[in-house]
Structure 1
């Protein structure tokens, strides 16, 4: 019996060591091949990764779940930089931004940055760069952060929500969030996923996000799955998504506080953040909000139907008197 126990302990130690080695290898790969492309701004001791380009009225871009600034620098930002000064930010814990505080960095916890906490941090980073009266665009999870910015502050010109989270949803999330977003899941399951998830699984997930359209050639190589599969990034992402719904309930009751122009762009074939759950209600919740429904379009219209998203940005700029 003692021999068996010793064998099991040894196997457990070897297994934990193997997981750590493989996870660290992916994290080193991310650091080598996908270093920060922008600047790390210190916001009260929290590093926020920011990229800026272009000239014109200020436009802030906020990415979705599992994403980073590279989602926008793949192609979308280049289409706008001749007419807007663009500021792209990594949300806390994703890309190269730190978590919003030490309480979120612990392994055995489900502490997470809610949308208002994220909006405050990102706003503070943009202010350090001299951003004034910006249009704030949020994609997917970034949509609820943009709306939180509008609810909490009145120093923005307008909001553009692109396939954005906006209203409470029925049912449960995928198991990777419901398990990975817990304290024990973050500590025990996330390292396993980080170490062993194959590239084929990542390819399938990305394809599903773009459906029914296809991801543009070179997109995944530019964004970098190694960035998403880092342990700390996965913990941040799964916690933020898993515990998001109560915050959406609270925020959605406050949308009438938003007085700035709001444009919404959403595909009716989006199965990730469904139109009929999230955006279809916004024109009744925010005075003057305008909804553009893209028929047959999935979750990534800023890549597959960029002209429609750009038109929405331009409408906000016109409505806000920036053009």
Structure 2
């Protein structure tokens, strides 16, 4: 009897998994059809990096944050910057339509992920292929860590750095439980298919509201970014692993910030509860000689959308300090 029950359970489990795969594949295909790749592919060795290039002027690279893609930057921010700069926007490795830097980071059961340094080296090589040998580099949120790693790992290939609500210093609190679960081997294998299948549009809107808080999301942002791309199983796993493994890399980077000697502009809202100002940007200003911090009163985690003129002013200051304007 026990053997029959186990066999029946196995059959039901297999049937449930097959049904879940069908739902997941349908939702992923729909997301990719609604939000197909934009821009061009840049090959860095065997790694495909998705890039959008727009505008004329000094080269400026934009690096998005966690759970994001090119679309966060190209919604309104990059087009505005492109009036005065040659803007290059990347999907970070493993995110959007870019490959992982190494196949070892892919797959349902993996737990490791690209470090900020690995991502920076690949993105710098991609930028160079696009003719940007020494660009200004702007990173938002997780992308701030990648921008800092670029300055550390490729100091001769960066003119200035703009850190927007960036992750830069160790934090004391544990990550959200979703990151911790999805970052494990078993959780990363089993949980993302459920999220892909069952997360509702209403939940996505709530998450976007939380990211923008205390400001409301910029009208049209929800529809433009293609949240379904971030809800694909591989994207959920890649994002969780990158965030889940970030802290040890940050701890190794902090003692090296004194090596950075380019112009650095830091801009951060004092109402940011996702990447708190006091933990990250206030210390960073003192860790990099000559760094300049602007604090935005009452602004949350998305100043490049809700306080865009202030962020563009930071880019302009960086360009002027680097002798590009």
**What TM-score comes out, normalization by structure 1 length?**
0.98
Greater Cα shift, 149-158 or 2-11:
2-11
- Partner of 1:173 in structure 2? 175
- Partner of 2:158 in structure 1? 156
- CA positional deviation for 1:29: 1.0
**Counterpart secondary structure, 2:10:** helix
Rounded to whole Å, the distance in 2 between the matches of 1:258 and 1:168 is: 18
Cα-to-partner distance string for 1:237-263 (whole Å, 9 max, x where unaligned):
000001100000001110001000000
Cα-to-partner distance string for 1:74-102 (whole Å, 9 max, x where unaligned):
10111111210000000011110011111
Rounded to whole Å, the distance in 1 between the matches of 2:123 and 2:154 is: 12
Greater Cα shift, 11-20 or 83-92:
11-20
- CA positional deviation for 1:159: 0.3
Greater Cα shift, 3-12 or 231-240:
3-12
Cα-to-partner distance string for 1:126-155 (whole Å, 9 max, x where unaligned):
111111220000000000000000011122
List aligned pairs for 1:253-272, cutoff 5 A: 253-272=255-274
Pick the aligned partner of 2:294 from 292, 295, 302: 292
List aligned pairs for 1:137-152, cutoff 5 A: 137-152=138-153
- Partner of 1:95 in structure 2? 96
- Partner of 1:110 in structure 2? 111
- Partner of 1:30 in structure 2? 31
Greater Cα shift, 84-93 or 17-26:
17-26
- Partner of 2:134 in structure 1? 133
* Structure 1 residues without counterparts, runs of 5 or longer: none
**Counterpart secondary structure, 1:208:** helix
Rounded to whole Å, the distance in 1 between the matches of 2:8 and 2:166 is: 51
- CA positional deviation for 1:322: 0.4
Rounded to whole Å, the distance in 2 between the matches of 1:314 and 1:234 is: 35
- Partner of 1:278 in structure 2? 280
- CA positional deviation for 1:106: 2.7
Equivalences, count:
323
- CA positional deviation for 1:111: 1.7
- Partner of 1:77 in structure 2? 78
- CA positional deviation for 1:118: 0.4
Rounded to whole Å, the distance in 2 between the matches of 1:3 and 1:157 is: 68
Rounded to whole Å, the distance in 2 between the matches of 1:159 and 1:127 is: 16
- Cα RMSD for the two superposed structures: 0.9
Rounded to whole Å, the distance in 1 between the matches of 2:81 and 2:174 is: 37
- CA positional deviation for 1:105: 1.4
- CA positional deviation for 1:7: 2.7
Rounded to whole Å, the distance in 1 between the matches of 2:135 and 2:284 is: 21
- CA positional deviation for 1:107: 2.1
- CA positional deviation for 1:173: 0.4
**What TM-score comes out, normalization by structure 2 length?**
0.98
